[in-house]
Structure 1
Amino acid sequence: MSSHVNVTINGRQYRMACEPGQEGQLLRLASDLESRIGLLRGKFGEIGDARLVVMAALTVCDELIDAGARIKALEGELAGLRDVRTAATDRARATQVAVANALNAAAERIEKTTQVLNRTVGGGVAIG
């Protein structure tokens, strides 16, 4: 089932169908288009209703194309940032493994040194 909304575009009323719950959005879209037409009328004067509507539509299309290009650029930038984050995470993991291995190796050397000292110093008296 669809809803109906009366919108004004270029000074004319139109009865438009929309999905239930989308009435407000349709009214906002019509208001935006009406504002664009008004701005163009103020800039170019009375150049004909059809031309004003076409110019407003072309303005919207131009903005849509620009927005699409910006979205693609941002998606590329986001992908690059994800790659950098993945590389940084991999480096951090490798660093953590290297530090853990170094600490384990140092602990083993300390343990071996303690064992040697225990055997050789003080006639078998334990140190540490």
Structure 2
Amino acid sequence: MPQINVTIDGKNYRMACGDGEEAHLSALAAGLDARIGEMRRAFGEIGDMRLHVMAALTVSDELAELRRRMAALEAETAALRREAEGAVAGQAERDAQIARGVSRAAERIERLAQSLAGG
């Protein structure tokens, strides 16, 4: 299992990760480090633990909002899919009605042609 060193809030941490996940873990650590830095600039020195908790809470809040938005988009996608399926089914029925109408018209034309030809 690979291990990498990451720096978060000026502290080095040795972290294990899955094969091929090194770059992803480094990016996550860099994002958290940047978030803590933003909080430190905004709130000053209020204690490392408090800054870390605040950063974790803002990340959790963003995750919750993204999950909510994803659920709404999934529901919208499902509704659109049902609507499209209904439209396709409706079109198939309309096509069948048109085909039946054309067939009946063709039969009437044949009968008229026969009656005109032979009486």
Same structural fold, with TM-score higher than 0.5 when normalized by the shorter chain: yes
Aligned twin of 1:59:
58
Aligned twin of 2:9:
10
Counterpart Cα distance in 2 of 1:115 and 1:98: 26
Aligned twin of 2:33:
34
Letter in 2 for 1:109: R
Letter in 2 for 1:62: D
Q: TM-score, normalised by structure 2?
A: 0.97
Identity of aligned residues (%): 47
Runs of 4+ aligned residues of structure 1 deviating over 4 Å after TM superposition are none
Which deviates further from its counterpart, 71-80 or 30-39?
A: 71-80
Q: CA deviation at 1:83?
A: 1.3
Higher helix share: 2
Q: CA deviation at 1:86?
A: 1.3
How much is the aligned-residue C-alpha RMSD, in angstroms?
0.7
Unaligned runs of 5+ in 1: 121-128
SS in 2 for 1:98: helix
Aligned twin of 2:24:
25
**Length, aligned pairs only:** 119
SS in 2 for 1:16: strand
Aligned twin of 1:103:
102
SS in 2 for 1:106: helix
Q: TM-score, normalised by structure 1?
A: 0.91
